[in-house]
Amino acid sequence: MKLKAELAGRDYIEVDCEGEDLQKPGRVQKVSVLGCSEFMEMMRKMRRSFGNDIAKWPVPGGTDHSSLLLKEMILKLRGEWQFPYPHAEICHCRTVATETVDQAIIAGAHLTEVVTRQTNASTACGTCRPEVQKIIDYRLDKKSS
């Protein structure tokens, strides 16, 4: 099976691993990485320090896009990734995909107001606003308010 963490059109980490269980992926077989120079440098440093098995790398605490992607991949490989909103569309009024909101957060929109400006989510009834906040909180390790 393949696991992929990506920032649309730019950085991604793709890992081939044994088994088909999304909750408990097997041993890492192949890692593919593509991204900006900052991201590639981070991956080089991590590989030099911790080897090729991403599942054993420490989870980065930063909130820059490289750290958020890497954190996602490490948690997925450990079977600990629990994204807080399971549906493909988060804002039904504006037809905004969950992935669009998530990509904005990875790219640096860390306040609901900024996500709203960039994606159009939560600009009508506002019902989706708490869900947008949950994704921000999960990505940034904040307690939900």
Asked if 133 is part of the footprint of ligand FES (rule: CB under 6 A), the reply reads no
Residue nearer to ligand FES on the CB measure, 59 or 93 = 93
Asked if 127 is part of the footprint of ligand FES (rule: CB under 6 A), the reply reads yes
Q: CB of residue 100 vs ligand FES: minimum separation in angstroms?
A: 12
Q: CB of residue 98 vs ligand FES: minimum separation in angstroms?
A: 11
Q: CB of residue 10 vs ligand FES: minimum separation in angstroms?
A: 26
> Whole-angstrom Cα distance, residue 100 to residue 69?
15
Which range of residues in 25-33, 46-54, 91-99, 103-111 is near ligand FES by CB under 6 A? 91-99
Residue nearer to ligand FES on the CB measure, 32 or 127 = 127
Residue nearer to ligand FES on the CB measure, 111 or 124 = 124
Q: What is the DSSP string of the chain?
A: -EEEEE-TTS-EEEEEESSS-SSS---EEEEEEE--HHHHHHHHHHHHHH-S-GGGSPPP---SHHHHHHHHHHHHHTT----S--SSEEETTTTEEHHHHHHHHHTT--SHHHHHHHH-TTSSS-TTHHHHHHHHHHHHTPPP-
Asked if 93 is part of the footprint of ligand FES (rule: CB under 6 A), the reply reads yes
Binding site for ligand FES (CB under 6 A): 91-94, 121-128
